[in-house]
């Protein structure tokens, strides 16, 4: 820290424009305190109510194997920063890939000018912001060593080709095999005018297998994804043989499946990725971004019953290795557990800083963003329906004729919770028993209605990795639930 930056001395605006800092370029550490403290103080002196800097370094690589060849390797290196300025409840966000002091100051001045704020005169005194001691989550958990422990490009290719070979051995009527992997390493630093000063490293990895089978006019396509956040050895310890067997078994059953008949049915939804419907059709409606837009039917329902009394749901960032697990959010707030729904009663919304300011709902450690080019927004982390008191056998035993949705596919959701989701693997239930495979099923409904019809939840909760796109980009999330029963839902088919 330069001598001029001692806490008991103020700098003039003119002196700040002439400052140069030697902050560490290949690591976000304590050396960034000086420049960021000065810039935050400068923003406040210009009349901003709140100023925040978000710094990011990112290394990403993906690898794809199709059949018996590596068909793509895609690396990406990113470094940059964003500055957010608030005046009252209004804000703006400016990003830059210039991490010099001059570059960061220029981004700040641009954000201030957009808000109608300007730097004080050249002789004005500017106090630096008193930042907290650096909360270094990366150092506390030895995360700085994670990247060096990850698989090499050679190992990526070898593992993916081995996975495709395993699928070829166990599959029948195989037309195409695909295995993919990506690794996303991110270092972030957050500094804000409320004193926040925090650093973290995230390591997100995922593998996927997809199998296309065909026999004459019969077709089936099944995929599976696994993910992890924190294990550098994730790829080399992946049991791709088991994944290959599971994908091949599902594809084989669906190859000759009959088409489902359209109608209203009771439905048993499997655990694991079955939780995607709750995430999409209800979870988004509990984010304060939806309250700000007035696009959630639950806007004034806190404390009221919005779901069946047997349903409880959580969003949290704490589960070991789950895709949405974080030590801190992208606004520097420590992660936590947030009870969304308890016995059918709406308890909380998910809120970032801006959402809290504008709606009055407390921050929940849910301020997330894809990277430095996005301002943080309220986003889900690990979101799931909690285990219930019923056994899986009791769920099936309660259905005379219905559909078992074992593996969910893609779908779409309207702005207020109307959804339409395909089912990749489904079965007919007759008198409490699974009798035959079905294909072509689509679940159609509206969140505020379907939530009231989830009447039974089993004890076998399971989580699955996923991706969530919204106003602040694409982020990694977990979806999940136990097996559950929906008393009645529209099933589209033939």
Contact, 436 vs 258, CB < 8 A?
yes
Angle, helix 33-45 to helix 101-114, in steps of 10 degrees:
20
Pull the structure tokens for residue 109: 């001045």
What torsion, rounded to 10 degrees, do the Cα atoms 360, 361, 364, 367 define? Answer: -60
Of residues 219 and 21, more confidence is placed in 219
| Residue at token pair 């097996």 | 483
Structure confidence by residue, pLDDT tens digits, 179-188: 999 999 999 9
**What is d(CA 301, CA 457) in angstroms, rounded to the nearest whole number?**
23
Radius of gyration of the chain (CA): 25
CA distance 410 to 109: 43
Q: How confident is the model at residue 494 (pLDDT cuts 50, 70, 90)?
A: confident
And the tokens for 240? 């791709």
Q: For the segment 434-487, what is each residue's pLDDT rounded down to a tens digit?
A: 999 999 999 999 988 999 999 999 999 999 999 999 999 999 999 999 999 999
**DSSP 8-state assignment for residue 4:** G
Rounded to the nearest angstrom, the gap between the alpha carbon of residue 436 and the centroid of all alpha carbons in its chain is 35
- How confident is the model at residue 4, as a pLDDT? 36
pLDDT of residue 442: 96
Distance of alpha carbon 490 from alpha carbon 365, whole angstroms: 36
Tokens of 369: 């963003």
The length of the chain is: 494
pLDDT tier for residue 411 given thresholds of 50, 70 and 90: confident
pLDDT at 344: 97
Q: Does the pLDDT at position 80 exceed 70?
A: yes
Contacts of 206 (CB under 8 A, 6+ apart): 181, 182, 225, 226, 227, 228, 323, 465
Task: Kindly state the tokens that stand for 415.
Answer: 């702005």
Q: List beta partners, residue 221.
A: 212
Q: How far is CA 393 from CA 253, 268, 384, in A?
A: 22, 11, 21
- 16 dihedral zone (left: phi>0; alpha: psi -120 to 50; beta): alpha
How far is residue 261's CA from residue 310's CA, in Å, rounded to a whole number? 29
pLDDT, one tens digit per residue, over 332-373 is: 999 999 999 999 999 999 999 999 999 999 999 999 999 999
Nearest-angstrom CA–CA distance, 437 and 164: 25
Looking at residue 190, what is its pLDDT?
98
Domains annotated for the chain, with CATH where assigned, are 3-61+77-138 (no CATH), 143-188+201-258 (3.30.2290.10), 263-492 (no CATH)
User: Phi and psi at residue 144, in whole multiples of 5°?
Assistant: -65, -20
User: How close are the terminal C-alpha atoms of the chain, in Å?
Assistant: 71
Q: Which of 9, 58, 50, 53 is nearest to 35 (CA)?
A: 53
- H/E stretch holding 355: helix 353-359
Listed as own residue / partner, the contacts of 358-364 with beta carbons closer than 8 Å and 24 or more positions apart are 358/89, 358/288, 358/292, 359/288, 359/291, 359/292, 361/288, 361/291, 363/331, 363/333, 364/315, 364/336, 364/338
What is residue 214's predicted lDDT score, i.e. its pLDDT? Answer: 97
Residues pairing with 229 in the sheet: 204
> Is the Cα torsion angle 376, 294, 479, 64 positive or negative in sign?
negative
In 374-432, DSSP assigns E strands to 377-378, 382-385, 401-413, 418-430
């Amino acid at each position: 820290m330069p001598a001029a930056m001692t806490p008991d001395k103020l700098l003039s605006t003119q002196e700040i424009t002439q400052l140069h800092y030697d902050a560490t370029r290949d690591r976000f550490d304590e050396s960034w305190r000086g420049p960021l403290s000065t810039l935050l103080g400068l923003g406040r002196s210009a009349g901003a109510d709140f100023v925040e800097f978000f710094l990011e370094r990112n290394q990403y690589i993906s690898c794809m194997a199709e059949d018996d060849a590596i068909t793509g390797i895609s690396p990406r290196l990113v470094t940059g920063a964003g500055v957010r300025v608030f005046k009252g409840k209004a804000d703006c966000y400016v990003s830059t890939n210039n991490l010099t002091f001059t570059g960061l100051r220029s981004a700040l001045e641009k954000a201030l000018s957009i808000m109608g704020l300007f730097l004080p005169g050249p002789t004005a005194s500017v106090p630096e912001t008193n930042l907290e001691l650096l909360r270094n989550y990366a150092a506390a958990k030895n995360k700085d060593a994670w990247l060096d422990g990850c698989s090499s490009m050679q190992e990526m290719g070898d593992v993916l080709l081995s996975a495709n070979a395993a699928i070829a051995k166990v599959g029948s009527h195989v037309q195409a095999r695909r295995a993919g992997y990506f690794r996303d390493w991110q270092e972030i630093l957050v500094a804000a005018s409320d004193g926040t000063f925090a650093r973290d490293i995230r390591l997100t990895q995922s593998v996927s297998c997809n199998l296309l089978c065909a026999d004459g006019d019969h077709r089936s396509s099944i995929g599976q994804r696994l993910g992890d956040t924190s294990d550098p050895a994730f790829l080399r310890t992946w049991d791709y043989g088991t994944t290959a067997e599971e994908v091949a078994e599902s594809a084989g059953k669906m190859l000759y499946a009959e088409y489902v008949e359209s109608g209203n049915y009771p439905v048993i939804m499997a655990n694991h990725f079955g939780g995607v419907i709750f995430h999409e059709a209800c979870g988004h409606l509990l984010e304060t971004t939806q309250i700000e837009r007035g696009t959630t039917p639950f806007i004034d329902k806190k404390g009221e019953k919005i779901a069946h009394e047997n349903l409880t749901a959580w969003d949290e960032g704490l589960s070991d290795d789950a895709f949405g697990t974080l030590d801190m959010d992208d606004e520097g707030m420590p992660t936590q557990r947030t009870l969304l729904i308890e016995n059918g009663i709406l308890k909380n919304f998910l809120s970032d800083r801006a959402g809290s300011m504008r709606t009055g709902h407390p921050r929940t450690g849910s301020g997330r963003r894809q990277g430095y080019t996005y301002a943080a927004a309220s986003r889900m982390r690990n979101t799931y329906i909690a285990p219930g008191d019923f056994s899986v056998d009791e769920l099936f035993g309660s259905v005379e004729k219905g559909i078992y949705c074992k593996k969910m596919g893609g779908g779409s959701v309207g702005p207020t919770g109307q959804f339409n989701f395909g089912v990749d693997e489904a079965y007919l239930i007759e008198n409490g028993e699974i009798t035959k495979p079905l294909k072509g099923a689509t679940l159609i409904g509206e969140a505020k209605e379907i939530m009231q019809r989830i009447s039974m939840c089993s004890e076998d909760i399971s989580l699955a990795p996923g991706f969530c796109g919204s106003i602040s980009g694409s982020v990694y999330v977990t979806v999940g639930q136990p097996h559950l029963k929906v008393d009645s839902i529209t099933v589209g088919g033939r």
